[in-house]
Amino acid sequence: MKLTTRFFQLALIIVIPCLLGCRRELPGDIGRTNTINVEEVSRSFQMQAGGGVGSQAALPEPTGFGNITGKITVDGSIDTSKFVNYAVNKDANVCSAEPNRRVQVNNGGLHWGLLFYDGDFKAGDDKWDHPEYQAEATAVLDGDLAFDQKACIFLSRIKGMRTGQTLKILNSDPVGHNAKLDGLTSANLQIGAGASVDYKPGFQESKPFGVSCSAHPWMGAYVIVRDNSLFAVSGEDGTFEIRNVPSGVSLPFKFWHEVIPSGSFAITINGEAVNLSRGGFELPALEPGQDLDLQITINADEFNNAL
Amino acid sequence: MNSVSNKAIAKMKLRQSIKVMGVSAWGASASLLLACLCMLTGCNSKPAAFQVNEAYIRAVEYKADVTKPQMRDASTRLSTAQIKNVSEVLEGLFGTPDKPNLPGGVGLESFLSMRKLSVAAGPVIYTGDDQNSNGLESGLYRRHCAHCHGVTGDGHGPTAQFLNPYPRDYRKGQFKFKLTDADGAFKKPSKKDLNHVLMEGIPGTSMPSFRVLTEPERSSIIDYVVYLAIRGQTERALIDAAYLLASDNSEIPDNPNKLLVRFDSDEASNDLDYVRELLTPVVLPWTNNGTGSVQRTIEEAPAGWNSAESVERGRQLFFQSKANCFSCHGQTGVGDGQTNLFDNWTVEHLGNKPGDAAGSGPDGEIAGIPEYFYHNELAQIGVVPPRNLKPRNLRLGNYRGGRRPIDIYQRITGGIEGTPMPGNTKLTQEEGWSLVAYVMSLPYEAVSRPKTAPVFQGVGTSK
């Protein structure tokens, strides 16, 4: 009796470490996938083999166009003591070592806030894509619309453009820069002093991507590429304007700012509290010819906590 | 007599001590056998599986909420149900390491060969008697590549942590050395480019040449690597999409409406159409509507491209902002111009954003590298420590993309994807070749020559 007990004790002592030793939860070990679900995906795509584009759900027909204008206001003050100076380690005679002002608020208005339409869109369709914007679909963004850099700072913190457009990237510094664009169409372009290069994207992005300069790694900005013109970056005073927005259709929008990208927090739109879901919120459908005024207010704490 | 009695006493003592332990010899051997059996059979031998790109999930979450992980709200994280949902979609599209699959209707069937994938995938199985690779039925990738690049193609194979540079993680779909990049934008590598890397290896790294393989074998591995890259890119796109479906603070994270594909509901078909939309921008740059990426044609170097005058013109360009080489490669070309750079694969693991120079991000600073995100999140899931990327020392004469003049011309004009090395679209052809000439002359300048070691003269002979 005693012998058997001892034997089991010994066996247990050996077996348990064996079991524990071998069991190692690997990263991303999320258990077994559901075979039925896996097969459903596989079957769905096999059925499409050679059949071209899948059946797209019919989009509602817009009834006309409206305009959206408004202002993004920050409630409270931004803790500017959290700004960190640009870590300049070369070209000090050219490059500014001032604090990197990641949140810029002027008289309460938020500069460099991005709003973009995040729903289905038919580019080139007169009902969706206003003829005025169709004409700009392949434009070259030059002059005031170009993406410039001076004193080793990108002059636009966020730049919006359309899929078919060409972005001129300028270098207004007396030193060489390069623009490293990490989008779906990635590029890294050398730009001599005073020269310019072209960036042609080609694919729509669901969120802004980073632009940096490898020669001056403290430099950074963002670009977003959309297949429509329904986006706006707020100006110095926080105001924005999105013209020719299709009316009669639901308008899922996204708010984005580099410090709180795709954040989930409460904002107020025209006095009403709205919960952003990873930056997303829904606007009511517009009437044809309607001019919607949007007053968006964000609590300064949202920025301060993330700075 | 004395010795016999000693032996008897020893035997008795042994028996006594066994009795004291309470274990008979039979018991001991039985438990030993059991232990050995346990060790041999293994307790957790699952079939090979693709690993979830957890590092990317963490990076996405961290970008949206830079607070410490333990302070992070559950609503800002992807729930296990969401991650599992993404994995199910991914497995439905691309199968498993043992049984790869290609999603239909996106143009992949004509670009990648299922037959080649099945030879490269799976466990190493031989047909025929000879154990050489020609008899291989499946498992080419696991035999030749997986120990460094990992079964998932994540660059996380068992040997990865011992190598410098780390093996490539294919899942970003970015490759460095190719002749397809032109006009400033990076293109996907052509299969010819990948074959070139397999043939030549990458000098200065642990990537060897695979000339010993047959052409069909290399071709199978190439298709499989492209398959792993497309799969990895798709996974990233699905993670992004799942993350943007987000829950707001008021909702439970496991809400089925927050799943990318709502299986068992009327929405499943619409959701799968959405997945197809996500797949298109991933696949199209690879397939390029069936032709695949096309290598650019670089005209032959003009006569006298490496003349003394040309080298001098290259030297001047090296220091001008038009080419701006000195800015990173340094005044003397030893690669000391900008030493706090990182490649695309590492930047993601630092958790900093464009504009946060190393050490200036919200992470605080450890030895010049903002390692907070890495130490608190990535180290715990086994991601290798970040290393910075030093610009190449041009005086060593070791060029990773190849040492043919045309290789260096392409690096200068096309850039190196995933790294801080830009392409230069503004150089004339003549200027480009002058730079090649100058760069290739650097290892032979007097200043590059290593100092001669002092000759040991023997005891008593030195003065």
> ω into residue B285 within 30 of 0, thus cis?
no
CATH number, span A61-83+99-130+229-307:
2.60.40
ipTM score of the complex?
A: 0.82
What average pLDDT does the structure give for chain B? 82
Whether B263 sits inside 8 A of A23 (CB atoms) is: no
What do you get for the CA distance between the two ends of chain B, in Å? 76
Backbone angles phi, psi at B283, to 5 degrees: -80, -40
Instruction: For chain B, say whether A27 makes contact (Cβ under 8 Å).
Output: yes
CA–CA gap between residue A274 and residue A267 (Å, rounded):
5
| A vs B: CB pairs below 8 A | 307
Q: Which amino acid is present at B379?
A: A
The chain A residue lying nearest B248, using CA atoms, is: A277
pLDDT in tens, A242-271: 999 999 999 999 999 988 887 778 999 999
Q: Which one of B186, B275, B419 has the shortest CB-CB distance to A187? A: B186
Model confidence at B189: pLDDT above 90: yes
Q: With the CA atoms of B106, B239, A39 and B227 taken in that order, what torsion angle do they form, in degrees rounded to the nearest 10?
A: 50
Range with the lowest mean pLDDT among A160-169, B20-29, B48-57, B271-280? B20-29
The shortest C-alpha distance from A271 to chain B (Å) reads 20
Angle at CA of residue A150, ends A145 and A154, nearest 5°: 60
Residue B205, token pair as written in the block: 């790294």
Q: Look at the block and give the residue holding tokens 């390069």.
A: A178
Range B136-160 average pLDDT: 92
| Contact residues on chain B for A186, CB-CB shorter than 8 A | 174, 185-186, 417
Note the pLDDT tens digit of each residue in A14-71: 777 666 554 444 444 567 788 999 999 999 888 765 444 444 556 788 999 999 999 9
H/E/C letters for each residue in A155-175?
A: CCCEEEEECCCEEEEECCCCC
Lowest mean pLDDT among A246-255, A296-305, B76-85: B76-85
Instruction: Verify whether the Cβ–Cβ distance A217 to B357 is below 8 Å.
Output: yes
Determine the pLDDT at residue A184: 87
Q: Is the pLDDT of residue B130 over 70?
A: no
> Checking DSSP bridges between strand B136-138 and strand B125-126, what pairing results, if any?
antiparallel
CA distance A283 to chain B (A): 17
The DSSP code sequence of B27-46 is HHHHHHHHHHHHHHH-S--P
B406 three-class SS: helix
For an interface test with A, the pick among B67, B88, B259, B272 (most A C-beta atoms closer than 10 Å) comes out as B88
Taking residues A77-106, what's their average pLDDT?
A: 89
Q: Which two tokens stand for residue B291?
A: 């032709």
pLDDT score recorded for residue A59: 75
Range B61-81 average pLDDT: 71
Q: Are residues A278 and B382, on separate chains, in Cβ contact within 8 Å?
A: no
d(CA A154, CA A172): 10
In terms of CA atoms, which chain A residue is nearest residue B109? A49
Which homologous superfamily is A137-227 in?
Answer: Cupredoxins -  blue copper proteins (2.60.40.420)
Confirm if B157 and B172 have CB atoms less than 8 A apart: no
User: Where do the structural domains in chain B lie, given as residue ranges?
Assistant: 54-287, 308-448
Interface test with A, best of B327, B345, B369 (most A CBs within 10 A): B327
Point out the residue among B240, B241, B328 whose CB comes nearest to the CB of A215. Answer: B328
Report residue B222 CA to chain centroid gap: 15
- CA dist B390 and B341 (Å) reads 7
Residue A183 DSSP label: S
Quick count: other Cβ atoms within 10 Å of Cβ B446? Answer: 5
Q: What is the DSSP string of B169-195?
A: -GGG---SS-S--BTTB--PPPHHHHH
pLDDT digits (tens, 9 = 90+) for B315-347: 999 999 999 999 999 999 999 888 878 888 888
How far apart are the C-alpha atoms of B224 and B121, rounded to whole Å? 7
- Rounded CA separation B368/B387 (Å): 11
- Average pLDDT for residues B394-404, to the nearest whole number? 92
Q: Is residue A162's pLDDT more than 90?
A: yes
Which of B91, B85, B66, B74 lies closest to B239 in space, CA to CA?
B85
How big is chain A, counted in residues? 307
Greater model confidence, A165 or A7: A165
CATH architecture for the domain at B308-448: Orthogonal Bundle (1.10)
Residues 6+ apart with CB under 8 A from B437: B305, B306, B307, B310, B311, B314
Strands A272-275 and B125-126: unpaired
Least confident of A233-247, B33-47, B115-129, B429-443: B33-47
Instruction: Give the global pTM.
Output: 0.84
Using an 8 Å CB-CB cutoff, list chain A residues near B47.
Answer: none
Eight-state DSSP code of residue B72: S
**Which residues have a Cβ under 8 Å from the Cβ of A21 and sit 6 or more positions away?**
none
pLDDT at B93: 96
Whole-number Å distance between alpha carbons of A95 and A74: 30
State the Cα–Cα distance between residues B128 and B134, nearest whole angstrom: 9
Q: Check pLDDT > 70 for residue B404.
A: yes
Q: Using CB atoms and an 8 Å cut-off, which of residues 105-144 of chain A contact chain B? A: none
Q: Which of A41, A197, A278 sits opposite B93 (nearest CB)?
A: A41
Residue B308 pLDDT > 70: yes
User: Which chain B positions have a beta carbon within 8 Å of A87's beta carbon?
Assistant: 357-360
Quick check: A258 and B75 CB within 8 A? no
Q: Which of B273-287, B430-444, B449-463 has the lowest mean pLDDT?
A: B449-463
Instruction: Give the best residue of A10, A24, A190, A277 to mutate against chain B (max B CB count within 10 A).
Output: A190
Q: How far is A287 from chain B (nearest CA, A)?
A: 28
The pLDDT value given to residue A24: 44
**What is the location of CATH 2.60.40.420 in chain A?**
137-227
Cβ–Cβ under 8 Å, residues A144 and A168 = no
Question: In this structure, how many other beta carbons lie within 10 angstroms of the beta carbon of residue A3?
Answer: 13
DSSP 3-state of A244: strand
Query: Is A197 an 8 Å CB contact of chain B?
Result: yes
Residue B362: which pLDDT band, with cuts at 50, 70 and 90?
A: very low
CB-CB under 8 Å, B66 with A27: no
Per-residue pLDDT tens over the stretch B87-104:
999 999 999 999 999 999
- Out of B24, B28, B54, the one facing A28 most closely (by C-beta) is B54
A42-74 residues labelled b (16+ CB within 10 A) or e (exposed): bebbeebeeeeebeeeeeeebbbbbbbebbbbb
Q: What angle do CA B340, B345, B350 make, to 5 degrees?
A: 55
Contact B206, B148 (CB under 8 A): yes
